[in-house]
Amino acid sequence: MVVSRPPMGWNSWNTFGPEIDEQTVRSMADVMVSEGYLAAGYEYLVIDDCWALRERDANGRMVPNPEKFPSGMKAVADYVHSKGLKFGIYSCVGNYTCAGFPGSYEYEFIDAETFAEWGVDFLKLDYCYKPLSEPGARLYRRMALALDNCGRDILLSACSWGADETHKWIKTTGSSMWRSTGDVVDSWASVKNLYEIQRGIYEYNGALCFNDMDMLIVGMNGKGNVGVAGCTLEEYRTHFSIWSFFGSPLMMGSDIREADDDVKAILQNPAVIAVDQDPAFRQPYTVHGNPHVWARHMADGDIVLGIFNVDDNPMWVFVPFSELGIGRIAGRGFQMTDLWTGEDLGVKKEQFTLSVAPHASKLFRLKLARL
């Protein structure tokens, strides 16, 4: 399946881990629609690991755990679809999933057919218990072949954590997104760590096969399956700024049934989501020797500046517009808008400076202006 923008949705793992069930999925589907998440672009509802029984049935098919999913997976998918959402599920290229449930190794075609029958639209495919003799590229290609021939459009979301130099081979496989980092946990240290990893591989991001920086922790507040220390609101905003600026898939992971207005304002900021989803999908670059001041040129001719202070001290930022394509006699400047506050900062010429607080970030949209 081919997708032209970074996929957006919600995934069960960060909050629920192994405790995911049908009732939770239904209530999450309800909230994704009633609280405006679908309208904001979050269309996939994905059940992660631990949905199946530990054994396949006599026909070799995976079986949803009847205690967690008494109506069966087709009924759950039907409910999700009835809300206008798309339905995702999880398996693994290896013999087992990371939590020890059946993996798809040597069952790729039967699993793809089963998922198609259930009405699955999205498959997250993990990397645990991979036979050493099998290269990861071969196994993701095998599942993509099965999915592309199963009679239903199913998006393949590879989850090999960047292992085995995933960036070098993932675009041969048919995956629409690939986990470019290890697992996120709900802490500032984790956000910073995943950003640092991304800085080494962002060049590999691109349309049709997106670098997935892992699920969002915005709003977890230290609770749930990967809840650790939690983050401040400012840190969650920086996390969302970074993921959006780099064009990562945006898969929410918090219990959005409990999201307050501040959390919703982060997850549903249309101007920031538009950066993530920009159709040109041009590669970002750093500005004027500061490794945390980034620019990305948008499809409509605007430039977005992403400034991420991941350090513990205030960061002084100087942005000369010559770095952004404005020559000395061009007679042009930029009208600047702060994408978090919506504030119009007016037209600036030649340069601008500002100070960014520790763990804070700025996203500015720059529109070319005549002086």
Closer to ligand GAL by Cβ: residue 227 or 358: 227
Q: Does 116 interact with ligand GAL (rule: CB under 6 A)?
A: no
Q: Which stretch binds ligand GAL (CB under 6 A): 95-103, 147-155, 166-174, 344-352?
A: 95-103
Closer to ligand GAL by Cβ: residue 128 or 315: 128
Candidates 183, 234, 323, 338; binder of ligand GAL (CB under 6 A) is 183
CA 180 from centroid of its chain's CA atoms: 10
Closer to ligand GAL by Cβ: residue 49 or 302: 49
Buried b / exposed e along 140-158 (16+ C-beta atoms within 10 A): bbbbbebbeebeeebbbbb
Q: Which stretch binds ligand GAL (CB under 6 A): 91-99, 195-203, 281-289, 354-362?
A: 91-99
Candidates 21, 22, 49, 108; binder of ligand GAL (CB under 6 A) is 49
Q: Does 126 interact with ligand GAL (rule: CB under 6 A)?
A: yes
Q: Does 101 interact with ligand GAL (rule: CB under 6 A)?
A: no
Task: Tell me, residue by residue from 130 to 159, as one string, x for binding to ligand GAL by CB under 6 A and - for no binding.
Answer: -----------------------------x
Annotated catalytic residue, options 126, 186, 212, 255:
126
Answer yes or no: are the C-beta atoms of 155 and 125 closer than 8 Å. Answer: no
CB of 114 to ligand GAL, least distance (A): 19
CB of 170 to ligand GAL, least distance (A): 15
Return all residues near 202 (Cβ < 8 A) that are at least 6 apart.
211, 246, 283, 284
CB of 124 to ligand GAL, least distance (A): 7
CB of 127 to ligand GAL, least distance (A): 7
Q: What is the 3-state secondary structure (H, E, C) of the chain?
A: CCCCCCCEEEECHHHHCCCCCHHHHHHHHHHHHHCCHHHHCCCEEECCCCCECCCCCCCCCCCECCCCCCCCHHHHHHHHHHCCCEEEEEEECCCECCCCCECCCCCHHHHHHHHHHHCCCEEEEECCCCCCCCCHHHHHHHHHHHHHCCCCCCEEEEECCCHHHHHHHHHHCCCCEEECCCCCCEEHHHHHHHHHHHHCCHHHCECCEEEECCCCCCCCCCCCCCEEEECCHHHHHHHHHHHHHCCCCEEECCCHHHCCHHHHHHHCCHHHHHHHCCCCCCCCEEECCEEEEEEEECCCCCEEEEEECCCCCCEEEEEEHHHHCCCCCCCEEEEEEECCCCCEEEEECCEEEEEECCCCEEEEEEEEEEC
CB of 327 to ligand GAL, least distance (A): 46
Closer to ligand GAL by Cβ: residue 248 or 337: 248
Candidates 8, 10, 13, 195; binder of ligand GAL (CB under 6 A) is 13
Active-site annotation holds for 300: no
Closer to ligand GAL by Cβ: residue 154 or 159: 159
Annotated catalytic residue, options 78, 164, 183, 338:
183
Candidates 33, 40, 99, 369; binder of ligand GAL (CB under 6 A) is 99
Active-site annotation holds for 338: no
Closer to ligand GAL by Cβ: residue 48 or 235: 48
Per CB under 6 A, which of residues 298..357 are in contact with ligand GAL?
Answer: none
Nearest to 24 by CA among 14, 38, 36, 12: 12
Per CB under 6 A, which of residues 218..257 are in contact with ligand GAL?
Answer: none
CB of 200 to ligand GAL, least distance (A): 19
Catalytic residues: 126, 183
Residue ranges in contact with ligand GAL by CB under 6 A: 13, 48-49, 97-99, 126, 128, 159, 161, 183
